[in-house]
Structure 1
Amino acid sequence: MLYVGRITGRKGLAVFCKTILARILEQHPEARTLVVGDDPVNALHRGKGERAHVEAILNENGLMQTVLFLGKIDDHELSAAYFAADILVFPVQQRKNDAEGFGMVAIEAAAHDLPTVAFAAGGVTDAIADDVSGKLITAGDNKAFSEAVINLLRKPFPIRKGNDIRAFAAKFSWPRFGERLRLFCNPRF
């Protein structure tokens, strides 16, 4: 499993490690989670010590050996992490006055043929097509989130067998965006 993003309360890594990860490991004890990212430094709503909080949760629950924190990595290493993973976990939390934006990591994962399991919160619903590029789970339904991950680890994402998840990601490419923008700004063309 792969988590990519800043480590903040809204991104949900603490919730994942506290209430979801153990359920997954009961069914798949060999599963591991790679965490790419760290506490935000220059963000408007930066939190202090969220990574330490997540590590404390893992230690309290005896799960520290199942999670590897990679910190910030370069683009080549990030691409390799996407290709190496079986699932991107995106446990973003629904919060009043602190909504998740678009969810670009889900598009990046799809571009690497990697399905995403995410809570349907904020702009994430625009970045994932349910049952096409991943699974959208009702926000806050930790049990359903863990079940979706367990099922995908048990049986690879069905769409990967035939159609390409990358086709979904291609809809968000810069050339496609430029096309839509030109049509929007000048509908005569």
Structure 2
Amino acid sequence: MTSLLIVTDAWYPQTNGVVHSLEAVGNTLKSEGYKVQYLTPERFWTVPMPTYPEIRLSLAPIGAVAEIIGRMMPDHIHIATEGPLGLQAKFFCVERGLAYTTSYHTRFPQYVSARVPVPTEWSYAYLRWFHSGAAATLVPTPSIVAELAEHQFENLRVWSRGVDTSRFHPGAKTEFAGLPGPHLLYVGRVAVEKNVEAFLRLRMPGTKIVVGDGPQLPELRQAFPEAVFLGKKHGEELAALYRSADVFVFPSRTDTFGNVVIEALASGVPVAAYPVAGPVDILTDTAAGALDEDLEAAVTRALTLSREAARQHAARFTWAAAAEQFRSALVPASSWRDEAA
């Protein structure tokens, strides 16, 4: 049985696109006969990441990651994140001459600059160094491939995302009864880099509904009392909220993909967004979503679009296809078998 080790600093109890994508592709590969293991912060003491406490940074002793990887001896190694665990894994692979792949999930240069006055090129310099030794760096969209290529990243491959269309599907609008329509929905982290305020400032009739948690929630709740803030939701409750919306609004300019966009589409909800990386790669069918630098104009047009067309467009994004992109980029770690002989 072919074995794969995924090293990731992002894992449960976090709930975000990185964790979901790594779990979904791992489950798909398991169903195809792979032995998939994860090296995550669950094994170590952790501390909250400054300004992003949901992310716990691992306090792994020097050599701990090397010992674990050496004991597992996987056929393939994928380093998913650029944090402490990913860094130790990279050092180990380089020292031992092992081949590995990496992935780029988050535009940290933009995230950091939204919080502190740090030039984005400083962050890009670290990320470029981190990914430089990988046989391939997997990137969510062609737009992000082009962006990273401009910053001299190499060996870039597209690894798209999928959606569970059995979980997220059209149906009766069971939520938002008594709230003025149209019902405009945002789902995601409530933080400055997500640009949620742009959504809440829209001068449009109806009700703006925010699902999610984050450091900016108290501030926005006070500044926009007319909006409805529901906090973090999961499972069927979240799916029901999606399909009860009239338009899904995605105001972020910093995401690399936007899993919530295809979840909304799968629920039969047209999407309004800015024409930036992520949305421009997903909303290639103008019948499923609207892109405009004027977000109000995008929402207005999205309100006229077909829910059926949104659902049909979402069907293009499958985890089977995403897993095949991931699998095809893997390289043998190679030297294990020689050493074990």
**TM-score clears 0.5:** yes
Structure 1: which amino acid aligns with 2:191?
T
Higher strand share: 2
CA contact (8 A) 1:130 1:136 kept: no
Distance 2:274 2:255 in 1: 11
- RMSD across aligned positions (CA): 2.2
Bigger relative CO (Cα 8 Å, ≥ 6 apart): 1
CA distance in 1, matches of 2:240, 2:280: 25
Q: Partner amino acid for 1:89? A: V
What's the secondary structure of 1:3's corresponding residue?
strand
Aligned pairs (5 A) from 1:121-140: 121-138=276-293
Of the candidates 172, 175, 178, which is equivalent to residue 320 of structure 2? 175
Paired with 2:280 and 2:235, the residues of 1 have a C-alpha distance of 25
Q: Write the deviation string for residues 165-185 of structure 1: whole angstroms up to 9, x where unpaired.
A: 222212211123345556778
Which of the two has higher C-alpha Rg? 2
Within a 5 Å distance, the mapping from 1:40-59 to structure 2 comes to 49-58=215-224
1:13 corresponds to which residue?
196
**What's the counterpart of residue 72 of structure 1?**
232
1:102 aligns with 2:257: yes
- Unaligned 5+ segments in structure 2 are 1-183, 331-341
AA aligned to 1:16 is F
Q: Secondary structure at the match of 2:198?
A: helix
Aligned twin of 2:67: none
Larger helix percent: 1
CA distance in 1, matches of 2:262, 2:301: 21
Give the TM-score of the pair, scaled to structure 2.
0.40
User: Aligned residue for 2:209?
Assistant: 34
Contact 2:211 2:230 in 1 (8 A): yes
The letter for the 2-side match of 1:57 is: A
Q: Does the 8 Å CA contact 2:271/2:302 hold for their aligned counterparts?
A: no
Measure, in 1, the Cα distance between the counterparts of 2:190 and 2:216. 6
Over 3 Å counting, the alpha-carbon distance change for 1:175 and 1:84 in structure 2 is same
Q: How many Å separate the matches in 2 of 1:69 and 1:176?
A: 35
Separation of aligned partners in 2, 1:125 and 1:151: 16
- Aligned residue for 2:274, secondary structure, equals strand
Runs of 4+ in structure 1 off by over 6 angstroms are: 182-185
Identity over the aligned pairs, expressed in percent?
A: 34
Partner of 2:300: 150
Q: CA deviation at 1:73?
A: 1.1
Q: Number of matched residues? A: 147
Structure 2 residue aligned with 1:165: 310
Letter in 1 for 2:198: V
Q: 1:132 to 1:179 in 2, by over 3 A?
A: farther
Correspondence for 2:241 among 74, 78, 81 = 81
